[in-house]
A = this chain, B = another copy of it.
């Protein structure tokens, strides 16, 4: 069935396995007990943070293949992306495997983007097993997008903490697990925010746009979902989203939450909460998948959002465009 800009998947690919790996700070956060592997330190035995990030993604792919009781030769393609320039973490991670690689970029929306593209590849009958993966690393993101850690820069109250972690899942028609039933691809939205330490405000309008189109296209409302989860708007961004949706006559109530807002404990000093491609990737592939399999949630609207800036665009005075891809997962 075809709707304007929303895809209704006919065969409804299943998420037959998921895996998460995080840093120690993330392991001490609210979702700690749900992660598959908590690293002892952020370097993961590597010489640089960039190489640690790459190794996390590689581990997430190896981990999910094992957890789904498949072997590398069962995988038809890996779809992945990350925040580093030229998505090198994903590309270098893919180098370790003997299956094709499709690189995608949606900043922190990458988990939904990869699952969306992967679902289409399965649903259309093109492939059997697709691995989707993304992640981020606090230390690589800080030095690439903002300032060197050594500078000890003060963080403004609107800032968020990039998650050190990677999440992966395998989509297939064979096996058990939550089904991907709908996809709404996001438009690039830019309401003029240019503060790289206020990503929540930059991204909230993109969620608004995708959410409104998704509800309209699918003739659903917030009450049709057990849970509506945004990616990493954080504390401020999710408040802005609630306001923006209220202006449109839509109330986001107790079934609405944001991965960035929920991720860390209060005493972990992350100000507006968590962010990064690894934020919703690790929540989605641990806590959310577990709760769906347990039967607590039957239908989730998952809306990760990415801020599409670069250090160069910031230096050249550009505002921050954002994109939000939505997927619906049903048990």
Binary per-residue interface labels of chain A (98-140) against chain B in the complex, 1 for a CB within 8 Å, 0 otherwise:
1111111111000001000100110111111000000000000
Which residues from chain B contact A186 at a C-beta distance below 8 Å? 100-101
Q: Is A81 an interface residue (CB 8 A)?
A: yes
Q: Is A188 an interface residue (CB 8 A)?
A: yes
A4, A94, A313 — which one has the most chain B CB atoms within 10 A of its CB?
Answer: A313
Chain copies in complex = 2
Q: Is A271 an interface residue (CB 8 A)?
A: no
Q: In the complex, what's the smallest C-beta–C-beta distance from A5 to chain B, in angstroms?
A: 6
Given A312-B85, A316-B51: A185 touches B124 (CB 8 Å cut-off)? no
Binary per-residue interface labels of chain A (295-327) against chain B in the complex, 1 for a CB within 8 Å, 0 otherwise:
000000000000011111100101001010000
Which residues from chain B contact A308 at a C-beta distance below 8 Å? 86-88, 91-92, 103
Q: Is A259 an interface residue (CB 8 A)?
A: no
Once the chains bind, are A185 and B102 in contact (CB under 8 Å)? yes
The 4 A-B pairs with the shortest beta carbon distances in the complex, nearest first, are: A124-B124, A100-B185, A91-B308, A86-B310
A residues lining the B interface (CB < 8 Å): 2, 4-5, 7, 47-48, 50-51, 76-77, 81, 83-88, 91-92, 94-95, 97-107, 113, 117, 120-121, 123-128, 144, 184-190, 308-313, 316, 318, 321, 323
Known contacts A5-B99, A102-B117; 17 further A-B pairs (Cβ under 8 A):
A2-B125, A2-B126, A48-B316, A50-B313, A81-B105, A88-B309, A88-B313, A92-B313, A100-B185, A100-B187, A103-B104, A103-B105, A103-B106, A117-B117, A120-B124, A120-B126, A124-B126
